[in-house]
Chains A and B, each alone.
Chain A
Amino acid sequence: MTANTSAHAGAAAAPLLRLDGVMAGYATPVVGPHSFEVRGGDRLGIAGPNGCGKSTLLRAITGEARVFAGRVTRAPGLRISHQTQGFESLAGFPLNGRELLALTGAPARGLPPWLRGRLLERVGDLSGGQMQFLRLWACLMAPAEVILLDEPTNNLDREGVGFLEEVLRDLGPGRALILVSHDAGFVRRVCSSAIALDE
Chain B
Amino acid sequence: MNFSLLADPLFRLPFLTGLTLALLLPAVGMYLRLRNEWVAALALAQMASAGALLAAGLGLPVVAGGLVAALGAAVVKTLAARTGESGYAMMMLVGWAAAILLVANWPIAEQLGHALFDGQLYFTGAGHLALALATLAVVAAGLAALAKALLLARFFPDFFRARGYHERRYHFLFDLLAAAATALATTSIGVMAAFALVFVPPWFAYLWGGSWRAGMVIAIAFGALGHCVAFALALGLDQPYGPLCALVLIVMGVTGAALCAARAALRRHGKPLR
Contact = CB atoms under 8 A, between A and B. Distances in A.
Interface of A: 62-64, 79-84, 90, 92-96, 98-100, 103-104, 120-122, 135, 138-139, 142, 148
Determine which residue in B158, B161, B162, B214 has the highest number of CB atoms from chain A within 10 A of its CB, and name it: B162
Interface in B156-189: 156, 158-159, 161-164
B257 interface: no
B162 A82 contact: yes
Contacts of B91: none
B197 to A, nearest CB: 18
A78 B156 CA distance: 19
Contacts of B205: 94
B156 A104 contact: yes
Main secondary structure of the interface of B (DSSP, over half): helix
Contacts, number: 69
A139 B206 contact: no
A76 B259 CA distance: 54
A103 B155 contact: yes
Interface residues of B, number: 22
A135 B211 CA distance: 16
A96 B210 contact: yes
Task: Across the A-B interface, give the 9 residue pairs with the lowest CB-CB distance, nearest first.
Answer: A94-B209, A94-B215, A82-B162, A62-B162, A96-B211, A80-B162, A84-B158, A82-B158, A103-B152
A96 B214 CA distance: 10
Interface of B: 34, 148, 151-152, 155-156, 158-159, 161-164, 205-206, 208-215
Contacts of B211: 94-96, 98-99, 120, 122
A160 B240 CA distance: 58
A20 B158 CA distance: 23
Given A62-B161, A94-B205, A148-B162, A122 B210 contact: yes
